[in-house]
Amino acid sequence: MVRATGDGGFTLPTVMLMVFAAFAVASATVLSSLTAQHGTSRDLATKDALAGAEAGAHEAMLRYNATTVASGTWGRCLPEGTTPAAVDTSGWAWCPAQQAQLPDGTTYTYRVGFPQEAPGAPLPAHTAQIVSEGNTGGVTRRVDLTMRSASGQTPFSTAGIVGLNSISLDSNSELHGNSATNGDLTLAGNDEVCGNTQIGPGRTVIGGPPTCTTGTPTVTQGVTSLPPVNQGNVAFDNSNGNFFTVNPVTSTNANAQRLACFNGRDATGAVSTSCGSRELVLGNGASGVDVTLNGGNYSLCKLRLDQGSHLFVANGAKVTIYFDSPEQCGYSGLPQPIVQMDLNQNTSIEVNGGTSQNMRLLFVGSDTIATKVVMSSNTTQNVACNQDFIIYGPRTDIELAANSYFCGALAGKTVSTRKNVEVSTSNEAEQYSLPGWVDHYAVDDFKECAGPMPAETAAPNSGC
């Protein structure tokens, strides 16, 4: 009889194999977890770096808005008078790099560039560019921000009717002159659009195509931008004290002075509940009054002309009325929108012996509280360009009510008409320049760049 071979050591290899297999599975799990954690960490670092880059760009804009610097390319680097570190071949002067660190350890480096006052510069005057790079744990992100000031801009040089977000017409409305929007142009039927209309990229003419009895309208696509209103120090340095001493009040009504109200008082000086702080109200809904402005800058929160009232600009005078932001005027935004200019039936704003450039209505507006301009049945016949003035409010909606006629130039967040409205642009408005205050910048364009910040001797916006 043969004895069976011993198997006492058979379990050891089996157990070791199982241990190795379990270790391999565990190792794969740990490796996968580490890889995921590394990916998550890098993703977080990438987001932190981008946030750092954006923080640098906005700090640069904040510094330039808070600092008055000398005019001219070479004087615009901070500190004032610093010579730019690089000038590229297109006429772009770049200031030396500025660095800072956020509380979480993210660092950022930014450089600001200004165009030289010479033909061929990449961006127009009163425009600046910021390139900012954020760095977190060796991960970098770079952004390119273009900022633009309203100072000295000619907003109506290519279009006299501008609605940033949209232009919409009700039936039997007419636009005579070039118009522009970043959104759609909406037509309702029997509308005329004479001139070129620029709509936003990928947008359309709803209810179109547009028609015109005196020519062939054209439609193009492009981007329209309007810098915000910079009111400078007009809120406290203005001609408001001229109401109603220098600026006369007239009317056939014996109580005319009591029907004109500004800043809580009527034209006799008596306390009135008809108007609030920096609010100008003419008329009472039944009897109208007239006020003639003799020139200067004015700061209002609201303007209301009741039926039959008129606001005149004296012969040869130039008037600019700034409408302050609803926040500075103490308006809560309820109900919205805040109507900051309301021209009721048979009212008008008229320039005597001048052009649309002699009467400018500039609206600061708000990003959080909606503001609005409403013009009602001011004129039903195109007999004279008596509504010849400029309205500019990139953050304010403009509405022309039924049977109104307007001549001059309009620029708002939106432009809309009701039935039987006619809008004509004036040639004089094309040349209008916004007041030349010290530059106050707002974001005009934002994009991300590829690769790290170049050496300081090179233009930092390469790869953007």
Question: What is the residue-level pLDDT of the chain in tens, covering all 464 positions?
Answer: 445 555 555 565 665 666 566 666 555 555 555 454 444 555 788 888 899 999 999 998 888 876 655 444 445 676 655 666 666 655 667 888 889 998 889 999 999 887 665 555 667 777 888 999 999 988 999 999 988 887 778 888 899 999 999 999 998 899 999 999 999 999 998 899 999 999 999 999 999 799 998 888 999 999 888 888 888 889 999 999 999 989 889 887 778 888 999 999 999 999 999 999 999 999 876 678 999 999 899 999 999 999 888 898 888 888 999 999 999 999 987 778 999 999 988 888 888 766 667 889 999 999 899 999 998 865 433 445 544 688 999 999 999 987 888 888 999 999 999 888 888 888 777 888 888 777 778 888 888 988 888 887 777 888 88
> Do 322 and 392 touch, CB atoms closer than 8 A?
no
What's the rounded Cα separation, in Å, for the pair 424 and 388?
Answer: 9
Indicate whether 247 and 390 sit together in one domain.
yes
**How far does Cα 136 stand from its chain's mean position?**
32
CA dihedral angle for residue 436, residue 155, residue 412, residue 123, rounded to 10 degrees: -90
What's the rounded Cα separation, in Å, for the pair 418 and 50?
Answer: 45
Of 166, 50, 191, the residue nearest 108 (C-alpha): 50
Establish if 403 belongs to a structural domain: yes
Indicate whether 462 and 370 sit together in one domain.
no
Q: So what's the pLDDT on residue 1?
A: 47
Q: So what's the pLDDT on residue 340?
A: 96
Indicate whether 237 and 323 sit together in one domain.
yes
Indicate whether 183 and 314 sit together in one domain.
yes
Indicate whether 172 and 214 sit together in one domain.
yes
**How far does Cα 281 stand from its chain's mean position?**
28
What's the rounded Cα separation, in Å, for the pair 185 and 182?
Answer: 9
What letter does residue 418 receive in the DSSP assignment?
Answer: -
pTM of the predicted structure, to 2 decimals: 0.75
Three-state SS letters, 25-48: HHHHHHHHHHHHHHHHHHHHHHHH
What's the rounded Cα separation, in Å, for the pair 322 and 345?
Answer: 23
Establish if 366 belongs to a structural domain: yes
Indicate whether 31 and 132 sit together in one domain.
yes
Three-class DSSP category at 24: helix
Indicate whether 68 and 200 sit together in one domain.
no
Residue 397 phi, psi dihedral angles, 5° rounding: -80, 145
Range of the domain at 31: 19-151+438-464
Establish if 448 belongs to a structural domain: yes
Q: So what's the pLDDT on residue 31?
A: 53
Establish if 338 belongs to a structural domain: yes
Instruction: Give the DSSP H or E segment for 55.
Output: helix 11-66
Establish if 4 belongs to a structural domain: no
CA dihedral angle for residue 330, residue 335, residue 338, residue 341, rounded to 10 degrees: -120
> Do 274 and 255 touch, CB atoms closer than 8 A?
no
Establish if 272 belongs to a structural domain: yes
Indicate whether 139 and 187 sit together in one domain.
no
Tokens of 369: 């509280």
Q: Are strands 192-194 and 179-181 parallel, antiparallel or unpaired?
A: unpaired
Q: So what's the pLDDT on residue 386?
A: 47
What residues form DSSP beta bridges with 246?
none
Residue that has been written with the tokens 């609010």 in this structure: 279
Q: Which amino acid is at 254?
A: A
For residue 211, give Cα distances in angstroms to 55, 168, 174, 185.
48, 15, 10, 13
Q: So what's the pLDDT on residue 65?
A: 78
Indicate whether 123 and 89 sit together in one domain.
yes
Tokens of 223: 């981007």
Please, how many CA atoms are within 13 Å of residue 464, restricted to the half-sphere of its CB? 22
Indicate whether 192 and 122 sit together in one domain.
no
What's the rounded Cα separation, in Å, for the pair 52 and 64?
Answer: 19
CA dihedral angle for residue 325, residue 326, residue 327, residue 332, rounded to 10 degrees: -170
Establish if 103 belongs to a structural domain: yes
Q: So what's the pLDDT on residue 134?
A: 93
Indicate whether 170 and 303 sit together in one domain.
yes
Q: So what's the pLDDT on residue 36?
A: 46
Indicate whether 172 and 146 sit together in one domain.
no
- Which phi-psi region, left, alpha or beta, contains residue 401 (left: φ > 0; alpha: ψ -120 to 50)? beta
Q: So what's the pLDDT on residue 6?
A: 53
Establish if 295 belongs to a structural domain: yes
Handedness of CA 275, 280, 284, 289 (dihedral sign): positive
> Do 146 and 127 touch, CB atoms closer than 8 A?
yes
For residue 10, give Cα distances in angstroms to 158, 212, 377.
92, 99, 104
What letter does residue 401 receive in the DSSP assignment?
Answer: -
Q: Which residues contact 310 (CB under 8 A, 6 or more apart)?
A: 282, 288, 290, 291, 347, 348, 349, 350
Count up the domains in the chain and report the number.
2
Residue 67 phi, psi dihedral angles, 5° rounding: -125, 130
What's the rounded Cα separation, in Å, for the pair 155 and 157?
Answer: 6
CA angle 52-57-59, nearest 5°?
90
Three-class DSSP category at 21: helix
Q: So what's the pLDDT on residue 73?
A: 46
**How far does Cα 204 stand from its chain's mean position?**
22
DSSP class per residue in 185-214? EE--SS-EEESEEEE-TT--EET-----TT
